Amino acid sequence: MKKLLKDLKDGDPEVRAESARELGVKGDKDAVPHLMEALKDDDPLVRANTALALGHLDRSKETVGSLLRLLKDESWVVRHDAAIALGELKAEQAEKKLIELLKDEVIDVRKQAVKALGNIGKGINVLEGYIDDEDIREELVYAFSKNKSYDNLVRLFNTGSQDIRIKAIKGLKEPQEYVDVITKALKDDSWRVREEAALRARGIEEARNALIGALKDEKSHVIVEALRSLADIGDEKLVKEIRHLKEHNDPSVREEWSRTMYLFNGDCLEMMDAFQVEDNPRVKWSMAEAIGRNDSCVELLKDIYEGSQGDDKILLACALAWGGNRTGLQDILEALKDERWKVRQRSIEAVRLIPPDTLNKKERRKLISGLSELLDDPDKWVRIESIKALRDFSEVGKDKVLNIISERKNQEVDEDVKGVIEGLNKGQGPKS
């Protein structure tokens, strides 16, 4: 810190300003007396950076008093940063002067005055009078949301631009208390507002009908969020309301339909029929997983698996594994060699869900061998999943992983891989 304190008195104002900034970052309160002195610096950037630094360091009456005086500084940058500092300090005694700052000639200063009042939790009633000020509406959303002034957020939603309407909806931390606003937002002219409203309606029973209506929205983003919110409501009777989406022209909607059907414990035949006519690989994976995780679909799944071929057989083998069933293990072992990295990755994810004690020694050895070969896979995610699977299935696999990593000790390893390796090094054995 000695060098920074020395730089705080350097002849170059840029050096002094940077020193003040770094002293604030370091957080050493011993710097406070020196920073207080720097508030008198001739250079506005030095004063501004010093104000910010003190906002991180000191709540004393003396510091707050000095920052309050800076709200009348001739430089708007200093006024701006002093307002930020007072807000961070939650200095309640700054309320009156911050309210005065709402009339500053510089827009950015007014914005920070609003945010500071929001952080302090004071002057909210005064801010109500500025709702029509287009320049500071975003900051008003912040202040009202932070202080749970939701009626004012609704006012902003009703009169604001698209961006303000989105932010106002996001700011409603208790959306279940404002279902009428959510319902109105689900019919907004802007699909982005409708999407945000559908997201905020998660699990709100009172928004059910509005969400069902949103399933016919022209924008897929809105439909997907509406599906997720309906899934959180958790009523299996809603299955009939989403049935038409299995034929939607957007794959993302069909994919979300399959997930929702799983959560609703949907009809196995309906899901299987959709799977068999689906032509999008990503959606087929999701459908297979949804079917596999539905306990009531196991017998049907086994029957159709036996008569399937090609990619469908791989997918249904993985579906069985996702349900903890080993029936399709041989096909999954073959899929571990597939030229498509995503098939290799998803096959490993599936096989990890097969209980190890359901495999005989021969199957176990084959699986360990196949997974070990994937430790050198060119795709990072395949390597990660193979390491995890080996950790789960065998102490032999664990040793194999450690040997591979030891051979690569001078090479950079992916962060995600490192996390798995750390677990191996701590002696984590196979899953129980």
What pLDDT was estimated at residue 301? 92
Reduced to 3 states (helix: H, G, I; strand: E, B; else coil), residue 388 is helix
d(CA 364, CA 372): 12
What pLDDT was estimated at residue 410? 45
What pLDDT was estimated at residue 414? 62
Number of H helices, E strands in the chain: 28, 0
Q: How far apart are the first and last CA of the chain?
A: 53
> pLDDT truncated to tens, each residue of the chain (432 aa)?
788 888 888 889 999 999 999 888 888 888 888 889 899 889 999 999 999 999 988 778 899 999 999 999 999 999 999 999 999 999 999 999 999 999 999 999 999 999 999 999 999 999 999 999 999 999 999 999 999 999 999 999 999 899 999 999 999 988 888 999 999 999 999 999 999 999 999 989 999 999 999 999 999 999 999 999 999 988 888 899 999 999 999 999 999 999 999 988 889 999 999 999 999 999 999 999 999 998 889 999 999 999 999 999 999 999 999 999 999 999 999 999 999 999 999 999 999 999 888 888 898 888 888 888 888 888 988 988 888 888 777 555 556 656 655 555 444 556 656 666 666 666 554 443
What residues does each domain of the chain span? 1-122, 355-432
Which tokens is 227 given?
């599906």
pTM for this entry: 0.82
Query: Dihedral (C-alpha) 274, 280, 285, 288: value to the nearest 10 degrees?
Result: 10
User: Residue length, the chain?
Assistant: 432
**Which residue pairs from 201-205 have beta carbons closer than 8 angstroms and sit at least 24 positions apart in sequence?**
201/175, 201/226, 201/229, 202/228, 202/229, 202/232, 203/229, 203/232, 203/233, 203/234, 204/175, 204/176, 204/179, 204/229, 204/233, 205/233
**Phi-psi region at 123: left, alpha or beta (left = phi > 0; alpha = psi -120 to 50):** left
What pLDDT was estimated at residue 421? 64
d(CA 40, CA 56): 19
Q: Which amino acid is at 3?
A: K
Residue 46 · residue 17 · CB < 8 Å: yes
DSSP 288-341: HHHHHT-GGGHHHHHHHHHT--HHHHHHHHHHHHHTT--TTHHHHHHHTT-SSH
Buried/exposed code over 158-188 (b: 16+ C-beta within 10 A; e: otherwise): eebeeebbbbbbbbbeebeebbebbbbbbeb
The owner of tokens 């992983």 is 401
CATH assignment of 1-122? 1.25.10.10
What pLDDT was estimated at residue 214? 96
